[in-house]
């Protein structure tokens, strides 16, 4: 269980990026974080990754407080962030230096195969397309068998076709490793394709606004009526989150 408890973050300049976030994510759940720009999505992931400290509240992974980068927490960013001087295989195996060579090579080969890049293991990152590079960064995150995987708009720079292809690769790896996943997206269809639940955020200060459960069977068909209905529910919640908070009506029983 990943528990985010009463979490707030105010930056040194006074920006209230997060205010009293509470979210409990059972092991293996996929949660999509969705919301307008500036509502604290990246701040939240950075805190869960232990890359920054909260101003108040806490984050616990199976009871253990996260206050610094944790080996059980993997991260994928919008851009692939590969090391240009290492081959594809060495990028994927970069965090596995503690393992013996044969095991490391076997794990890297398996992860690359799962993202469909087995034949590119010896290439340089610059020889790959953007979508292929992002597949490498997903393989790199999964090769460590993370308990929690954090993805910050990982597919937003890719075309729609490549994005769908990567959804498939991500889900195939998730099926195998079953990490808890927090994925930031601004793409409602992406939330419906991937997540068990969409959590909608609201800015100034950043906070959780609404939750839309997505109990759809997998594999999911984006054109199925259930998917379209789920997308509409998220859009409606998103719409509400972009409006200023409504003041309580003067006379709630006017009707
Ligand atoms: N290092 C920082 N210092 C000051 N303000 C920041 C910093 N990082 C983010 N912010 C501010 O915090 C708010 C939330 O930012 P961010 O978490 O990046 O939102 P999102 O990812 O949802 O777009 C924004 O107002 C942003 O300008
Ligand atoms: Mg962001």
Per-chain mean pLDDT for the chain:
93
Ligand nearest to the CA of 43: 1
Give, in order, the Cα–Cα distances in Å from 158 to each of 135, 163, 182.
11, 6, 19
Question: 211: helix, coil or strand?
Answer: strand
Whether the Cβ atoms of residue 78 and residue 156 lie closer than 8 Å to each other: yes
- Provide the percentage of residues in the chain whose pLDDT is more than 90: 89
Tokens of 74: 């993997």
Residues 82-100: pLDDT tens digits? 999 999 999 999 999 999 9
Q: Is the confidence at residue 247, as pLDDT, over 80?
A: no
Any residues with CB less than 8 A from the CB of 69 and at least 6 apart, and which?
49, 50, 51
* pLDDT value at residue 244: 78
Shortest-distance atom of ligand 1 to CA 36: 22
Reported as a pLDDT band with limits 50, 70 and 90, residue 242 is confident
* pLDDT at site 152: 97
Burial class from Cβ neighbours inside 10 Å (0-12, 13-18, 19+) for residue 10 reads middle
> Sorting pLDDT into bands at 50, 70 and 90, what band is 26?
very high
Q: Could you report the per-residue pLDDT of 183-229, keeping only the tens digit for each?
A: 999 999 999 999 999 999 999 999 999 999 999 999 999 999 999 99
Report how far ligand 1's centroid is from the alpha carbon of 38 (Å): 6
Cα–ligand 1 centroid distance for 17 (angstroms): 6
pLDDT at 243: 83
In tens, the pLDDT along 100-144 reads 999 999 999 999 999 999 999 999 999 999 999 999 999 999 999
Q: Whose CA is nearest to atom 10 of ligand 1?
A: 17
CATH number, span 2-72+146-242: 3.40.50.300
So what's the pLDDT on residue 48?
97
**Spacing, Cα 186 to ligand 2 middle (Å):** 10
Domains of the chain, residue spans: 2-72+146-242, 81-145
Residue 207 C-alpha from the chain's centroid: 17
């Amino acid at each position: 269980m990943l528990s985010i408890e009463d979490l707030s973050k105010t930056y040194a300049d006074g920006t209230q990026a997060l205010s009293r976030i509470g979210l409990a994510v059972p092991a293996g759940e996929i949660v999509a974080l969705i919301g307008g720009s500036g509502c604290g999505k990246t701040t939240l992931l950075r805190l869960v990754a232990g890359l920054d400290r909260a101003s108040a509240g806490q984050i616990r992974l199976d009871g253990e407080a996260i206050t610094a980068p944790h080996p059980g927490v993997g991260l994928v960013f919008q851009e692939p962030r590969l090391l240009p001087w290492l081959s594809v295989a060495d990028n994927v195996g970069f965090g596995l230096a503690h393992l013996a060579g044969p095991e490391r090579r076997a794990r890297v080969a398996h992860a690359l195969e799962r993202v469909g890049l087995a034949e590119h293991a010896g290439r340089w990152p610059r020889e790959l397309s953007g979508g292929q590079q992002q597949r490498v960064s997903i393989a790199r995150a999964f090769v460590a068998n993370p308990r929690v995987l954090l993805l910050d708009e990982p597919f937003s720079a890719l075309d729609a076709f490549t994005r769908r292809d990567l959804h498939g690769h991500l889900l195939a790896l998730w099926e195998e490793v079953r990490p808890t996943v927090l994925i930031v997206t601004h793409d409602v269809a992406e939330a419906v394709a991937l997540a068990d639940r969409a959590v909608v955020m609201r800015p100034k200060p950043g906070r959780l606004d609404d939750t839309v459960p997505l109990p759809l069977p997998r594999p999911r068909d984006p054109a199925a009526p259930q998917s379209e209905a789920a997308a509409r529910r998220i859009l409606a919640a998103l719409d509400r989150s972009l409006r200023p908070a409504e003041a309580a009506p003067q006379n709630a029983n006017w009707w």
